[in-house]
């Protein structure tokens, strides 16, 4: 793969540079797949982006772009192929439970995640198709993924969680033990701190799935971590917890005990069912608002201490080198961020007229209080409506009616959270933090609408 001069900033080390170049390549190949002549997806707003075309082509990039195997020659992942009658009233439909008892989606719905093509398929991630989302909940099968050594397969009957260290009584919990404790269900987003990392220097990826697809929202169910810590009896002076996963990477992060006692959840369910394996089945740590890497999957151990553990993921990785040579460490919270998902990159508006601008906003520090939208590149702003529910540390859907006059436009959204923090421009962010690292890019995203209706990623 040729070297891309767009990723010449100091923050792009060899691994980050290869990552960004590969993301550009996979998106290029996806967008070059031919569309279907009879595509009626929002009257042709997605030329060349029909996932059915991708599936039929058997596209593979750097290994496997999609999960292997799907039912029927043309059925998208998660669907089964059935005969389509010209008149559905002319004969009875298929019988109940023909899908085996676990429902499948329509064969005409074909949104999928796509995988970043790492050299090893065991350490990679997949991106959520945000442009296809409705409301704020991400279907479990489309929730973004990040794995450091593959997806662990763990029998919940043999899995346990050990709590030890600075506690009065070390305890080992089976999954049955945890499920007997009082549970909570809450909706929260998770975002990888590397989300949008390709966009620091110049607009690079073309679609919102590429630029912002490492964030998703689910309803999470489990036991408050505070309950388990109170049972173990945390000793005076304890300040940190080491959370450890049971995957081959043995992922570990240091968690402030104040966060653990606040809103952390030992989650065993997602969107009303058991966690998916790629989301940490049978148990994951959920730290609402904290960077995704800290939400340890396949959680097996919590060690309480009076100091952080300085693991690989909080020293050589996930630290932010500042212009003065110092580094920000333990930058846990994800700052307020938003993105317009429609219209967004690689779409085509077929004609002037009415459109609803929509997107999502979120903040790891609280609740979204306001989202403003600009159609002229930030010269003027209009307040968008926020669709209920508006919840803390959760995606919030915003909407704004727009009459496009057929002239050039630049669409932007700007989020404000209940701390008063205002989402910055890329220039404002770089002025404060520099460009010596690639994490935590939460700048305003711009989409350019050309007079012909083409929507592209720009810096404005």
pLDDT tens digits along 261-284? 999 999 999 999 999 999 999 999
Q: Determine the Cα–Cα distance for residues 210 and 204; give it in Å rounded to an integer.
A: 9
CATH for 337-458 is 2.60.40.650
Q: Copy the structure tokens of residue 313.
A: 């993921």
CA distances from 443 to 78, 182, 212, 415, 459 (A): 34, 39, 11, 10, 10
Residue 40 has pLDDT above 50, yes or no: no
Tokens for 275?
């966690």
The residues, ordered by sequence, that sit 6+ positions from 428 with a Cβ below 8 Å of its Cβ are: 443
pLDDT at 19: 67
Residues 6+ apart with CB under 8 A from 225: 260, 261, 264, 265, 266, 285
Whether the CB-CB separation of 351 and 403 falls below 8 Å is answered with no
Q: For all residues of the chain together, what is the average pLDDT?
A: 89
The 8-class DSSP code of residue 327 comes to E
Measure the CA–CA gap between 141 and 112, rounded to whole angstroms.
8
**CB atoms near residue 105 (< 10 Å):** 16
- Say how far apart CA 96 and CA 358 lie, in whole Å: 37
The answer on pLDDT for 59 being more than 90 is no
Give the tens place of pLDDT for each residue, 206-256: 999 999 999 999 999 999 999 999 999 999 999 999 999 999 999 999 999
CA dihedral 363, 365, 368, 369 (to 10 degrees): -150
DSSP letter at 392?
T
Q: Work out the pLDDT band at 154, boundaries 50, 70, 90.
A: very high
Q: The dihedral of CA 383, 342, 44, 379: what is its sign?
A: positive
pTM confidence score: 0.88
**Residue 160 confidence class, pLDDT cut points 50, 70, 90:** very high
| Position 58 confidence tier, pLDDT thresholds 50, 70, 90 | very low
Beta-bridge mates of residue 83: none
Q: Which two tokens stand for residue 22?
A: 């590969």
Rounded CA separation 14/415 (Å): 33
Find the mean pLDDT for residues 172-187: 98
Please determine whether the domains at 160-324 and 337-458 fall in the same fold group of CATH.
no
CA distance 115 to 102: 25
Determine the pLDDT at residue 54.
Answer: 34
- CA 396, 399, 404, 410 dihedral sign is negative
Cα 360 vs. chain centroid, distance in angstroms? 12
The pLDDT, as a whole number, for residue 45 is 64
Cα 207 from Cα 46, distance rounded (Å):
11
CATH placement of domain 160-324: 3.90.420.10
φ/ψ of 175, rounded to 5, equals -65, -35
Angle at 446 between CA 440 and CA 451, to 5 degrees: 165
Element (H or E) spanning 367, and its range? none
Please give the Cα distance from 175 to 49 (Å, whole number): 42
Phi, psi of 252 (to 5 degrees): -135, 140
Q: What's residue 111's pLDDT?
A: 93
Instruction: List, for residues 67-125, the tens digit of each pLDDT value.
Output: 333 344 478 999 999 999 999 999 999 999 988 999 999 999 999 998 877 777 788 88
Closest CA to 113 of 146, 76, 142, 70: 142
Tokens of 434: 């520099």
**How is the chain split into domains, by residue range?**
160-324, 337-458
Compute how many other C-beta atoms are within 10 angstroms of the C-beta atom of residue 249: 18
pLDDT at residue number 328: 87
């Amino acid at each position: 793969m040729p070297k891309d001069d767009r990723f010449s900033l100091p923050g792009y080390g060899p691994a980050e540079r290869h990552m960004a170049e590969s993301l550009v390549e996979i998106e290029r190949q996806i967008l070059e797949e031919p569309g279907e002549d009879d595509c009626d997806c929002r009257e042709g707003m997605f030329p060349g982006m029909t996932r059915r075309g991708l599936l039929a082509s058997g596209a593979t990039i750097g290994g496997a772009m999609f999960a292997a195997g799907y039912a029927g020659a043309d059925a998208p992942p998660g669907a089964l192929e059935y005969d389509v009658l010209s008149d559905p009233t002319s004969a009875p439909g298929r019988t109940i439970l023909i899908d085996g008892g676990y429902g499948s989606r329509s064969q005409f719905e074909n949104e999928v995640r796509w995988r970043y093509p790492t050299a090893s398929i065991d350490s990679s991630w997949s991106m959520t198709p945000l442009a296809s989302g409705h409301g704020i909940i991400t279907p479990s099968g489309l929730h973004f993924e990040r794995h450091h050594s593959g997806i662990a397969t763990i029998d919940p009957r043999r899995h346990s969680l050990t709590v030890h260290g600075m506690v009065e009584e070390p305890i080992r919990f089976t999954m049955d033990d945890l499920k007997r404790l009082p549970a909570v269900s809450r909706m929260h987003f998770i975002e990888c701190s590397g989300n949008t990392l390709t966009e620091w220097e110049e607009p690079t990826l073309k679609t919102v799935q590429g630029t912002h697809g490492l964030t998703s929202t689910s309803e999470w169910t489990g036991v408050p971590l505070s309950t388990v810590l109170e049972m173990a009896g945390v000793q005076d002076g304890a300040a940190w917890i080491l959370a450890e996963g049971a995957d081959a990477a043995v992922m570990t992060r240091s968690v402030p005990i104040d966060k653990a006692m606040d809103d952390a959840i030992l989650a065993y369910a997602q969107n009303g069912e058991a966690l998916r394996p790629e989301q940490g089945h049978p148990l994951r740590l959920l730290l609402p608002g904290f960077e995704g890497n800290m939400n340890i999957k396949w959680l097996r151990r919590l060690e309480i201490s009076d100091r952080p553990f300085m693991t690989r993921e909080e020293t050589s990785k996930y630290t932010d080198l500042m212009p003065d040579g110092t580094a920000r460490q333990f930058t846990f919270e994800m700052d307020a961020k938003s993105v317009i998902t429609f219209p967004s990159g690689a779409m085509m508006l077929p004609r002037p007229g009415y459109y609803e601008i929509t997107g999502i906003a979120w903040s790891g520090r609280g609740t979204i209080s306001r989202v403003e939208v600009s159609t002229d590149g930030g010269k003027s702003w209009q307040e968008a409506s926020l669709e209920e529910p508006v919840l803390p540390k959760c995606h919030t859907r915003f909407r704004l009616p727009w009459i496009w006059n057929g002239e050039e436009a630049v669409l932007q959204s700007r989020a404000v959270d209940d701390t008063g923090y205002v989402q910055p421009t890329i220039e404002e962010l770089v002025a404060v933090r520099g460009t010596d690292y690639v994490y935590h890019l939460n700048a305003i995203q711009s989409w350019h609408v050309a007079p012909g209706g083409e929507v592209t990623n720009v810096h404005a």
